[in-house]
Amino acid sequence: MDEENIRKRKESQNGSTSNNVDSQTKNKQPAKATVLQKDVGLLSSICLIVGTMIGSGIFISPKAVLLYSGAVGPCLLIWAACGVLATMGALCYAELGTMITKSGGEYSYLSEAFGSLVAYLYSWTTVMVLKPSSLAIITLSFAEYASTPFYPGCTPPVVVTKSLAAAAIIVIVMVNCLSVKLANYVQNVFTLAKLFIILIIVVAGMVMLAQGNTENLSNAFEGSSTSVGAIGLAFYNGLWAYDGWNQLNFITEELKDPFRNLPLAIIIGIPLVSVCYVLVNVAYFTVLTPTELLLSPAVAVTFGDRVLYPLSWIVPLFVVFSTFGSANGSCFTAGRLAYVSGREGHMVKILSYISLKRYTPAPALIFNGILASIYIIPSDINTLINYFSFAQWGFYGLTALALIVMRYTRKELHRPVKVPIFIAGIMVLVSCYLVLAPIIDKPDLEYLYCTIFIVSGLFLYYPFVHRKVNWARKIMRPITMHLQLLMEVVPPEKT
């Protein structure tokens, strides 16, 4: 009888405990694995592509295409053709992204097709120079337009613009470290803002056309350039404005239903940007002559002063919004590349760690922000990115070649999206031209320095990646441990 009472007492205690546990677990969300979460839907995917592609270029300086094409007609045709080429490149990436569902963009595809060394050289160049310097340039454009209203009639001091750019980098990195959903929300809002100002410019242009302002669009091909080199440089500058069409592939692991949303976002986003670019240029030519457009320091602002007065102030305001949104998208994707590189052992291990509470690649994002802040300091940051852009197109060409190579070497891989192979061939040829054109046109020593920097990555690759020397691991282990405790990050779980 005593044993029966003891058993009943234990059961009642256990029952109350289990009831408490049940009530607690009901109030709690199910535990998530410490990996990057699939929080990016179709709308956010489209906004990432559109918001990263549309930066400040279409508002500030679309004149390089006109300068090299020589006339309005070929200028508009080149803007449209660049959109077609960007779409073709993105379709190649849609096949690669649905075939190899890893984040990191080109890094993952080059690794699968050509091996570890080529992927390492890509991550070395992009993580250390291309991504952070791009973020630095975008935030400097943001800072210049944000500070100009406070210095009427003169250029804002360099210290002010650089300090404001550094502050913008800090804010953007914090947003991306706090939450993927918050970063997506910021991206969506600022993408809608830039589409709103584009709509205003386009509608204003249509009104001007309806009023008969067609002088600049008549005889549109008169004075066209016949130089193959000049047309090539016009394409080079046009494609630079379209750069960003590959950004969604950097976050493939975070996409909801990537087999559907990746190609669908590309098919919607890039043609949308192409139409916007062509229509905005048509709107400019309804008000500005080709000579006036070439002389204007900021074309959209000049357009706004002539057409939208007294509401012309909204144009520079929305250029600020546009550049901030573009910087946010650039930071978002750059962090994923550094994260994947660290995970694969091509960067220090701490970059592959994830925030335990927020499920963001915080160390990789902070590292990219630190490098971008450093690149703000020199005065010739634009020169740096111009000289390194040939390397970017070299990697685009290698990635398109990887698609062709894997059609024969990796036939067993499932391909939910399969593009005609001639599209990849065209991208390889275009990339080769865009790598060689600036070097042939102006063979500066800076291109050699950039090549030397890329190749110098091999001196780090052999001891630290290939051989994995013990002394380096002994040095990094306590550093990694302290940074892990400081930032509350952990290695990603294998799922």
Q: What is the rounded CA–CA span in Å between residue 224 and residue 187?
A: 39
Q: Pairing mode, if any, of strands 489-490 and 354-355?
A: antiparallel
SS3 (DSSP) at 45: helix
Q: Are 195 and 318 in contact (CB under 8 A)?
A: no
Rounded distance, CA 328 to CA 187, Å? 7
The one-character DSSP state at 286 is: H
Coil, strand or helix at 490: strand
CA-to-CA distance for 332 and 250, rounded, in angstroms?
9
Give the type of residue at 460. Answer: L
Residue 258 CA to residue 273 CA, distance in Å, equals 21
Residue 382 has what pLDDT?
A: 60
Q: Can you tell me the distance from the alpha carbon of 260 to that of 271, in angstroms, rounded to the nearest whole number?
A: 18
Assess if residue 189 is contained within a domain: yes
Residue 371 CB coordination number (10 Å): 20
Q: How far apart are CA 378 and CA 97, in angstroms?
A: 36
Query: d(Cα 391, Cα 394) in Å, to the nearest integer?
Result: 5
- Tens-binned pLDDT, residue by residue, of the chain (495 aa): 444 544 444 444 444 444 444 444 444 455 677 788 888 999 999 999 999 999 877 887 688 889 888 888 999 999 999 999 999 999 999 999 999 999 999 999 999 999 999 999 999 999 999 899 889 988 988 998 888 888 887 888 989 999 999 999 999 999 999 999 999 999 999 999 999 999 999 999 999 999 888 888 888 888 787 777 788 778 878 887 888 899 999 999 999 999 999 999 999 999 999 999 999 999 999 998 888 888 887 788 888 888 988 888 888 899 899 999 999 999 999 999 999 999 999 999 999 999 988 899 999 999 999 999 999 988 665 666 666 777 888 999 999 999 999 999 999 999 999 999 999 999 999 999 888 877 887 787 878 888 899 999 999 998 988 888 889 889 999 999 999 999 999 998 876
Asked, for residue 31, whether it belongs to a domain, the answer is: no
CATH of the domain at 343: 1.20.1740.10
DSSP 215: G
Number of domains in the chain: 1
How confident is the model at residue 466, as a pLDDT? 85
Write down the pLDDT at residue 26: 42
Q: How many other C-beta atoms lie within 10 A of the C-beta of residue 115?
A: 10
Domain annotation covers residue 14 = no
Does residue 357 lie in a domain region?
yes
pTM of the shown model: 0.87
Place of tokens 């990050």: 489
Q: Is residue 271 part of a domain?
A: yes
Residue 288 backbone class (left: φ over 0; alpha: ψ -120 to 50; beta: rest):
beta
Would residue 375 count as lying in a domain?
Answer: yes
What was the pLDDT predicted at 438?
Answer: 76
Q: Which residues pair with 355 in a beta bridge?
A: 489
- Identify the domain containing residue 362 by its residue range: 45-490
Cis peptide leading into residue 310 (ω within 30°)? yes
Backbone angles phi, psi at 361, to 5 degrees: -80, 65
∠ CA 176-179-180, nearest 5°, is 75
Token pair 């956010």 is at which residue?
A: 44
365 Cα distance to chain centroid: 13
What amino acid is encoded at 364 in this protein? A
Cβ atoms of 191 and 50 closer than 8 Å: yes
Does residue 468 lie within any of the structural domains?
A: yes
In a domain, 107, yes or no: yes
| Short-list 396, 390, 405, 402, CA closest to 454 | 390
Q: Roughly how many angstroms between the first and final C-alpha of the chain, as a whole number?
A: 51
| The pLDDT of residue 14 | 47
